[in-house]
Amino acid sequence: MMIGRIIKIMPHISPYKNFQLLLKPKWLKSCKSISSCTDDFRTVFIDYGDVHEKSIINAKIKRKTKCCQQGPVLSLHTQFDNMCLQIHQKFHGRKSYLHDQKSLHCSHSSPVLLPSGTVMTLSPLPIANVLSSVPCVGHIQQNRGIWDIFKKANFGSYTVLDRVGEVSTAQQVPAHITCPLYAQTGDPPLSPSSPEVKADWQVQAMRDSCYLARSVLNIVGENIQVGITTEDIDKLVHNKIIENGAYPSPLNYLGFPKSVCTSVNNVACHGIPDDRQLVDGDIISVDVTVFYNGYHGDCCETYIVGNVDKAGQRLVEAARQCRDATIEICAPGVPFTAIGAKVQEVADQLGVTVVPCFIGHGIGEYFHGPPDIYHCYNTYPGCMEAGMTFTVEPIIAQGKEDVLILEDGWTAVMLDNGRAAQFEHTVLITEDGYEILTDYY
């Protein structure tokens, strides 16, 4: 399960019906737009300081924009987790307001103009204080008009998910299962302030939890078929994890209501299992994480359901290649930035798009922690060291990178309705390279 590196706010307009697209907001009133679009360079930068003025110059010269620019060495995960918890707790009680603005700059997504020239936001007062501690990150936007949202691209033949289905209550966890601290409260504990170098006994614990995660995901793959619901997948995953004396990590993490993430077709990630049946031609990403003997193991796979068109098959294979080729460069001394550069390189070669607003993460006794693993060009500091464990999990899309968060506060869908695919491994850095802890067997 990945973490959202960028907190988004979307205007109240969409091709999706009955959704208030105003979740996980980022208040950008204090930020200044210091560049506008041109015919051949369609980006808008948000200025947090001189370092980002330099990014603009480099981007214009090299034609490669530096997504996810980060400043001082400071992990966002602790602040992000605490912030998201408060956002989820306060979400249903907040009022919405109209502000007289002509556009709204969204992190890693498009400014969207409303016909009235206004945008709707939520009251920023409770959240602004939380966001004040978040480290500086530079964001890149594409500057497009409102009608670009409705342009129909030929991404193939498949069903577009435009609404959330019926979600049942969460599965019960027996009393004898050892649970993470957030299982009751939804509030994750503090993660390390810097990437953790694990001792041998911790590495072995990671191997055990990751082996279980892969085992459960293998069982899911064996049962994926037309007619099964994502709720059925949730029950299967939950029961298998419990049978092995483990806890399903997503359950109640920041309030997530289910034991697994199931993301179908145009859902990029964090899909909540519901009563929708899989149909012939679907693709589905299943993200399994377990908490076993005090450690988390995390992996994800995108499966083909029945007869998927060639465009869908190409996307799934491209997503797998982006992950696998990137893991191959991992070794002690390799900068974390190399991961994003490699994913972007492979994606460009294959003609697909990286969705940059979700990242991989360090993992261990904590579900999400440093290092932040970007899948786009970035300047995140630091290098890999033997004993570090983290996830590599790029989301790859057919069309543009823009993502909407639906009204459930979790489901992330592609704005252009294109499909997305994701593959994930938990990786250990060893003395002479890497070990895939969630490898196939």
Annotated binding site for substrate: 270, 368
The string of DSSP codes covering 69-98 is EE-SS--SHHHHHHHHHHHHHHGGG--EEE
Buried b (16+ CB within 10 A) or exposed e, 154-181: ebbebebbeebbebeeebebeeebebbe
Tokens 């994913």 locate to 343
Q: How far apart are CA 302 and CA 304, in angstroms?
A: 7
Amino acid occupying residue 299: C
Q: How far apart are CA 412 and CA 106, in angstroms?
A: 14
Q: How many other CB atoms sit within 10 Å of the CB of residue 150?
A: 10
DSSP label of 259: S
Cis ω for the linkage preceding 371 (within 30 of 0): yes
In sequence order, the 6+-apart residues with CB closer than 8 A to the CB of 292 are 208, 209, 212, 244, 245, 246, 247
DSSP label of 282: -
Q: Which two tokens stand for residue 263?
A: 């993301």
Q: How far apart are CA 118 and CA 120, in angstroms?
A: 7
Q: How far apart are CA 341 and CA 337, in angstroms?
A: 6
Cα dist from 50 to 53, 58, 69, 280, whole Å: 5, 13, 12, 52
Annotated binding-site ranges for a divalent metal cation: 287, 298, 361, 393, 424
Q: How far apart are CA 89 and CA 272, in angstroms?
A: 18
Residue 97 has φ and ψ, to the nearest 5°, of: -135, 155
Q: How many other CB atoms sit within 10 Å of the CB of residue 314?
A: 17
Say how many residues make up the chain: 441
DSSP label of 195: -
Annotated binding-site ranges: 270, 287, 298, 361, 368, 393, 424
Residue 395 has φ and ψ, to the nearest 5°, of: -95, 130
SS3 198: coil
The candidate with the shortest Cα–Cα distance to 214, out of 430, 427, 434, is 427
Which H or E element spans position 371?
strand 369-373
